[in-house]
Chain A
Amino acid sequence: MRKIVILIPAYNEESVIGEVLRDIQFAGYPNILVVDDGSADGTYQQAQQVEGVIALRHFINRGKGAAVKTGIEGAKMLDASVVVTMDGDGQHDPGDIDRMVKLVDDGYDVVLGTRVMDAATMPVWKILANKSGNFFTWLLYGLWVTDSQSGFRAFSRRAFESIETRTDRYEYDSEVIREISRHQLKFIEMPIAVRYTRYSQTKATRQTLKNGLKTLFKMFLNS
Chain B
Amino acid sequence: MRLPLVNLVLVLVSALFLVNGAIKFFRREERQTFFKLLSYLAIWGSLMAFGLFPGLSRNISQLLGFGENLNTLIFFGFVVVFSALFKLVNSVERLERNVSEIVRREALEKLERIQERQNGHGC
The interface of chain A, by Cβ under 8 A from chain B, is: 35, 38, 54, 56-60, 62-63, 66, 69-70, 73-74, 77-78, 166, 168, 218, 221-222
Contacts and interface: CB of A to CB of B under 8 A. Distances in A.
B108 A56 contact: yes
B94 to A, nearest CB: 10
Interface string B90-109: 10010011011001101110
18 contacts: A54-B111, A56-B107, A57-B107, A58-B103, A58-B104, A59-B103, A60-B103, A62-B100, A62-B104, A66-B103, A70-B103, A74-B107, A77-B112, A168-B96, A168-B100, A221-B89, A221-B93, A222-B93
A46 to B, nearest CB: 17
A73 B104 CA distance: 9
Contacts of A166: 97
Interface string B66-106: 00000000000000000000000110010011011001101
A57 B104 CA distance: 9
B111 A221 contact: no
Given A58-B107, A168-B97, 14 more contacts: A56-B108, A57-B110, A58-B104, A58-B106, A59-B106, A62-B100, A66-B103, A69-B100, A69-B104, A73-B108, A77-B108, A166-B97, A168-B96, A168-B100
B63 to A, nearest CB: 39
Interface of B: 89-90, 93, 96-97, 99-100, 103-104, 106-108, 110-112, 114-115
Contacts of B110: 56-57
A70 B108 contact: yes
Question: Which 7 A/B pairs are nearest by Cβ-Cβ distance?
Answer: A66-B100, A56-B107, A70-B104, A62-B100, A58-B103, A74-B111, A168-B100
A10 to B, nearest CB: 13
- Residue with the highest number of chain A CB atoms closer than 10 Å, among B89, B93, B103, B114: B103
B102 to A, nearest CB: 9
A38 to B, nearest CB: 8
A116 to B, nearest CB: 33
A150 B113 CA distance: 32
B111 A56 contact: yes
A66 B114 contact: no
Contacts of B111: 54, 56, 74, 77-78
Contacts of A54: 111, 114
Nearest to B114: A54
